[in-house]
Amino acid sequence: MSGKNPYVVPPKTKLPTKPYTIRLEGYEKPLVVDPAELPYAEPGLPGSLLATLLAKGIEIDHACGGVVACSTCHIVVKKGFGSCSEATDDEEDMLDEAPALTSQSRLACQCVPDGTEDIVVKIPEWNRNMVKEGH
Ligand code: FES
């Protein structure tokens, strides 16, 4: 499943204009995101961490297809949180359903970095089995 959820208002996002990196906690190689390759579209918002990670070969659960109707794409943005698009009320409502919520939790499908900071992401343990390093 993917597409758009007619019941949610998409957040304002800004795509990066310079390269930035995403480092996944527990994985050695950082992923370089080149703005020339963006936006990676669906599932999730264009340029979202979900779309970007999937495009880079990192499998991460996304049961609803990135339309803010589950919380399976829950991640924790440990660094670079301030460079990410703001969470909407719809995202926060859905995050409330996620286990082990933190103040830096986001739905990967709704979190769009603007590239002004490098990002460090923790994928929660219960989702780790779904993740494989494909690069
Ligand atoms: S994949 Fe369902 S909310 Fe992100």
Q: Tens digit of pLDDT for each residue in 104-119?
A: 999 999 999 999 999 9
Which one has a higher pLDDT value, 117 or 27? Answer: 117
pLDDT at residue 2 in the model: 60
Q: What average pLDDT score do residues 39-68 get?
A: 91
Q: Check: CB of residue 15 under 8 Å from CB of residue 38.
A: yes
- The residue among 49, 118, 122, 113 whose CA lies nearest residue 84 is 113
Distance 32 CA to ligand 1 centre (A): 23
Asked whether the predicted pLDDT for residue 135 surpasses 70, the reply is no
Q: What's this model's pTM, rounded to 2 decimal places?
A: 0.89
Distance 67 CA to ligand 1 centre (A): 6
- The residue among 93, 78, 84, 75 whose CA lies nearest residue 7 is 93
Question: Which residue out of 109, 111, 112 has the highest number of ligand 1 atoms within 8 Å of its CB and is therefore the one to mutate?
Answer: 109
DSSP code of residue 28: S
Q: Return the percentage of the chain with pLDDT > 70, whole number.
A: 91
CB within 6 Å of ligand 1 — which residues?
62-64, 66, 68-70, 72-73, 94, 107, 109
